Structure 1
Amino acid sequence: MGFDYALVHLKYTIPPAVVLTALYRPLLTKLDAYKIGFLVTVAVISTIPWDSYLIRNQIWSYPSHVIIGHTLCDIPLEEVFFFFIQTYNTSLLYLILSRPTFQPRFLRAVRSSSHPKGAINPQWRYYRVIGQVALVAITAWGWHMVRDARLATYTGLIIVWAVPFLLFLWTLAYQFILGLPLTNTVLPIMLPTLYLWIVDTLALKRGTWVINDGTKLGIHLWVGLDIEEALFFFLTNAVIVCGQLAFDNALSILAAFPDLFPQRAPLPSPALLMRALLTPASRYDELRIVGLQEAVTRLRKKSRSFYLASSVFQTQIRTDLLLLYSFCRVADDLVDDASSSTEAKSWIAKMQHFLELAYNPEDGADDAAMKKFVTETFPAGTQTALLHLPVSKLSREPLEDLLRGFEMDMDFESGTSPIRTEADLDVYAHRVAGTVAHMCIELIFSDYNTTLAPQDQQTVVEAGDRMGIALQCVNIARDIAVDTKMNRVYIPDTWLAEANLTAADVLKDPSGPMVEKLRTRLLDKAFSLHRGAKDAIERLPVEASGPLRVAVESYMEIGRVLRQEGYIVKAGRATVPKSRRLRVAWNTLRER
């Protein structure tokens, strides 16, 4: 009886688990726990028979003086714990590295040349076959080494046990595995592999576990590390990460194509996940994939704060929020980038007609009419934003109010400010920002179960509206100089009069000392509204309350920057350094 193997865990496997858990704990959701628990269960159950066979056939062994002595199927409990802790650590690292990536945008539709619309991405079928042939060949090679019963026996046993899992996962998720960035695939495999190679080298040198002579090749990756052990840790980590990738592939399909899976629970069953993975890529809606890709591009370009915050949301709600943002951004750009007020008003009228068609209670022909109107009326680069707006989860009124907010912007063209009083400012901010917060909360209540009564839900929605007004006040405070280039001053005329200014004075000099005082007044209003509304966020489902706080606090940080002297200005706007935005996000999540 000894504690050498237990000390390996205490020194080398448990500390990384503690660190990774602490890092990811603010982001951890029920779905993440479900994924990790599922993979840990599969890993332990599938490894026990294989490891037990190796021990009983004396391919490797554990000296009695290095283990406590308790076993399961002849496997020391320390070894059983290793199956758990390796899967747990690698899974957490994968979750940390992949969280910033919006994975549904990497889905790919596939069509053959015989399809009425023509071929699209036909080469992906060959990638699948090439991978399958290679993995089958490797498995056959491993089986040959096992049957040969010589020095390559251990290598062969590793291959015939691990590679079939990779073959299965490759067949289900090969597109996803190949399409994602290396931070989602290669990095979470290689980092824990390199670490475990070092740990294994130290353990082999101390004799904590022993690979018996006669079943190993005698080749070393480096001094002290047998090539078989290097292969074992590489393949096991590859299986763990590919298992996570297959899981996320299924979640991405469920989120990206709700028409294919209209009924689904927050924690999808293994059967539903398999159904998603087995759905042919020929059934994917390529226009929706394009819409998701364009939505991500718009968010990255137009709002770095909200793009950072979006990574905290789970896949389904993140998808809906991205599509909502994409519509709002396109609608705003169509109006702001119009060459004349007449053209801008025309776009507003066209979007109002779009809403009439989208919210028409009848189906069939009316849906086709809506699609026809969009494709014939709107620029090609904007169409997916309208076609994939999640109207089934949103009420029509806030979208109508959003367009009314754009109409208020048009009033500046007549030379008359629509923001005469603070009440006008509130109306405007409600229309262009409070409505967006309203719709975000509607999406959250649609995607997550809630125990709140309808009247309590309405209370949360109203608080969200006030929070949206707060964020718009920060936006106005930040963009005073930028707005003057469009001949717009969103500071109420009554506030200007109290400061002995007119809108013309601000247009002439948007950076004077009195303007700075008015900027401070806008920020004071924003932070007052923020304090009064932020507690309501905590009444949202827990999966959404933390991420929504990140979105809010990331933007409010702009207001905090504006309060500081010498803030950094880029393109006429105050900016928050990325490191500071990350720190705000981290601190905000830790508060829950």
Structure 2
Amino acid sequence: MGYDYALVHLTYTIPPAVLLSLIYWPLSTRLDVYRILFLITIAVVSTIPWDSYLIRHNIWSYPEDVVIGWTLFRIPLEEVFFFVIQTYNAGLLYLLLNKPVLGSVHLVREKPGRSKWKYVKLSGSIALALAIKKGIEFVRQGKERTYLGLILIWALPFLFLLWNLAYQFLVNLPFTSTLVPIALPTAYLWLVDTWALQRGTWVISSGTKTGLHLWPGSLEVEEALFFSLTNCLIVFGLVAFDNAIAVLHTFPAHFPRVPELPSPMLLVKALLLPAAAYNDDRILGLQRCVARLRAKSRSFYLASSAFQGRLRIDLIILYSFCRVADDLIDNAESTAEAKEWVGKLKQYLDYCYGGAVKTKDGREISPRDPNQGVVTQWVMSQFLEDARHTLFMLPTERLGKEPLYELLRGFEMDLEFTGSGEGRGGMVGGPIKTEQDLDVYGARVAGTVALLCIQLVLYHYPEGMKEEKAKRLMKAGHDMGIALQYTNIARDLEVDARNKRVYVPPGWLKKEKLTPESFVSGVLKQGGAKDQDEFFMKKVNTIRGRLLDRAFEFYHRSRSAIEELPPEASGAMRVAVESYMQIGRELRRPGWKSKGGRATVPVGTRLWVGWRALLGPR
């Protein structure tokens, strides 16, 4: 009896497991636990027969004085534990690196007969098949290539199967999602194995190994290959699992209802769904939605990764709709064009909620019209390509109509900054005359969006939610949206002023002996940090502080409601709120950093705030 092998675990495999667990624990979901347990089960069941064979045929062995002595099919329990801990560590690293990834955007529809993917699939399959054939030859030859051959014929058939099930996903995922969680654990285990072989913790019989070393110090090439392939198996297995999950969540037409923990049979069914059956428009639409979220709001992009499944997809589409509408109006060349966009968006909502749209010839088409393709043609003719996919995917059946119409009224308030008969940005005056006006504006452009987010949460997780509580949560979400909008205005004070927009009530400006015109003029006169008028900037910071005070007033009033949300969404919603409110905290710090005139939160701080938010309320 000995403890050398147990010492390897205590020193080298368990500490990384503890560290990764602590890091990932706030991010973990029931589905993540299911993933890891599912993969560990497969790893242990598939490895035990092979490992037992190696020991029974003396291809490798464990001296009695380095193991405790308890065995399973002649395999020391320390070795069985190694199957578990290696899968756990590599799996957690994969999950951590893939948390921000939305699998839906990495799916690809294959066009029959014209797809390059059949050649990608064929190339990988041929390469793996040839390697399996070579492994069989090595085993038949026996002697010094036996162990090498046994590794190949054990691992590569599994890789062959996984490749054929998920080759598209494997190729499309970013390198950080696949190569990194393979390479890092492999390099680490190479070092651990070198140390273990030098100490004699396990021994490879000299007659069945090539005698080649990866580097001086006893790391056999067979061992190096073993750890490389086992980590490939772990990552390939998780990729195939995520491929199935992505298919299930992306295509409700094929899978109307998906349980939180899909059965193995349902996962296989999703993997076997022909890629030619994928909805190409939906994939492309989601790709554009994610790209828009990543480019327009790093805070909400970070927060979105904390949501799960179809709720995450719906929230991303909702955000994309808000950005599309905002961009259509902001990028219009005139007030008249901007108002025209608002009208078209209203008309589209009218149709979605039971109204009708008018074609160019004046004919009205209602939702009951069997020729729904005419509506599609109307959208195609009226909206830019970048907007169409988002409009078609907007889950209006899960959203109340009034908040969406209120959002458009908020955009109309923005148009009042332009004045009548003038070009965009031609006047300083606007719709914000009092603090109440600013509250109304914040409620329309942000409170509505937050309320819609709560509606989506309650739709996807309705269990045990009473109507009275749901209304209270939506009211709190509405107020939280106003808090975020006040923060947004505080951040963009100078940027908006350069566009001749002043969202600060005149009464607030008057207290600083300013008018909207003098405020804009003062901002435009500011140069670099050395040239700034300190007296004027002190006034700007006073106004900014008052906006932030109002923001945090709404924030503290409604933050407790987050904890009443379903547990599947409360942590993620906390991340969304805290990530954005961190901008307000940064603005209160002297010397805050800016990018493009806007305050920015350092990446490290953003990650820490998100991770801390998942742990629970402050």
TM over 0.5: yes
The reply to whether residue 197 of structure 1 matches residue 193 of structure 2 is no
**Structure 1 SS opposite 2:207:** coil
| Aligned partner (choices 515, 519, 530) of residue 506 of structure 1 | 519
Q: Which amino acid aligns with 1:543?
A: E
Residue 450 (structure 1) aligns with = 463
TM-superposed CA distance for 1:502, in Å, is 2.7
Deviations 1:426-479 (A, max 9, x none): 111111001111111222222335332222122111111111000000111111
Deviations 1:229-275 (A, max 9, x none): 11111111100000011111111222222222111112222122111
TM-superposed CA distance for 1:505, in Å, is 2.5
Question: Percent of pairs identical after alignment?
Answer: 53
247-256 or 72-81, larger mean C-alpha shift: 247-256
The reply to whether residue 403 of structure 1 matches residue 408 of structure 2 is yes
163-172 or 569-578, larger mean C-alpha shift: 569-578
- C-alpha distance in 1, partners of 2:406/2:244? 36
Deviations 1:493-545 (A, max 9, x none): 33334444332222222454333322211100101111111111112222322
**Root-mean-square deviation over aligned CA pairs:** 1.8
Deviations 1:200-240 (A, max 9, x none): 11111111111112221211112301111111111111000
The reply to whether residue 520 of structure 1 matches residue 545 of structure 2 is yes
**Structure 2 SS opposite 1:400:** helix
Aligned 8 A contact 2:509 2:516 in 1: yes
Residue 392 (structure 1) aligns with = 397
Q: Which amino acid aligns with 1:474?
A: T
- C-alpha distance in 2, partners of 1:420/1:255? 46
**Structure 1 SS opposite 2:397:** helix
Residue 106 (structure 1) aligns with = 106
- C-alpha distance in 1, partners of 2:597/2:209? 66
Residue 13 (structure 1) aligns with = 13
Q: Which amino acid aligns with 1:14?
A: I
TM-superposed CA distance for 1:308, in Å, is 2.1
Residue 237 (structure 1) aligns with = 231
Aligned 8 A contact 1:354 1:373 in 2: no
142-151 or 197-206, larger mean C-alpha shift: 142-151
- C-alpha distance in 2, partners of 1:363/1:185? 48
The reply to whether residue 581 of structure 1 matches residue 606 of structure 2 is yes
Q: Which amino acid aligns with 1:94?
A: Y
Matches within 5 A, 1:88-487: 88-113=88-113, 119=114, 122-223=115-216, 224-360=218-354, 362=367, 365=370, 367-414=372-419, 417-487=430-500
- C-alpha distance in 2, partners of 1:244/1:440? 30
Aligned residues: 585
157-166 or 360-369, larger mean C-alpha shift: 360-369
**Structure 1 SS opposite 2:418:** helix
Runs of 5+ consecutive residues of structure 1 not aligned to the other structure: 114-118
- C-alpha distance in 2, partners of 1:370/1:557? 43
- C-alpha distance in 2, partners of 1:509/1:9? 65
Aligned 8 A contact 1:357 1:367 in 2: no
- C-alpha distance in 2, partners of 1:370/1:451? 38
The reply to whether residue 564 of structure 1 matches residue 589 of structure 2 is yes
Residue 31 (structure 1) aligns with = 31
TM-superposed CA distance for 1:21, in Å, is 0.7
The reply to whether residue 529 of structure 1 matches residue 554 of structure 2 is yes
**Structure 2 SS opposite 1:65:** coil
Residue 116 (structure 1) aligns with = none
Counterparts in 2 of 1:143 and 1:448: CA distance versus 1, 3 Å: farther
- TM-score (ref. length: structure 1): 0.95
Deviations 1:287-306 (A, max 9, x none): 22211121122112211221
The reply to whether residue 552 of structure 1 matches residue 577 of structure 2 is yes
Runs of 5+ consecutive residues of structure 2 not aligned to the other structure: 356-366, 420-426, 524-535
Runs of 4+ residues over 6 Å off in structure 1: none
Q: Which amino acid aligns with 1:96?
A: L
Counterparts in 2 of 1:364 and 1:79: CA distance versus 1, 3 Å: farther
Aligned 8 A contact 2:249 2:258 in 1: no
**Structure 2 SS opposite 1:64:** coil
TM-superposed CA distance for 1:170, in Å, is 0.4
359-368 or 473-482, larger mean C-alpha shift: 359-368
Q: Which amino acid aligns with 2:283?
A: I
Residue 507 (structure 2) aligns with = 494
Residue 422 (structure 2) aligns with = none
Counterparts in 2 of 1:398 and 1:371: CA distance versus 1, 3 Å: same
TM-superposed CA distance for 1:367, in Å, is 4.4
Counterparts in 2 of 1:349 and 1:366: CA distance versus 1, 3 Å: farther
- C-alpha distance in 2, partners of 1:449/1:129? 45
Residue 87 (structure 1) aligns with = 87
170-179 or 46-55, larger mean C-alpha shift: 46-55
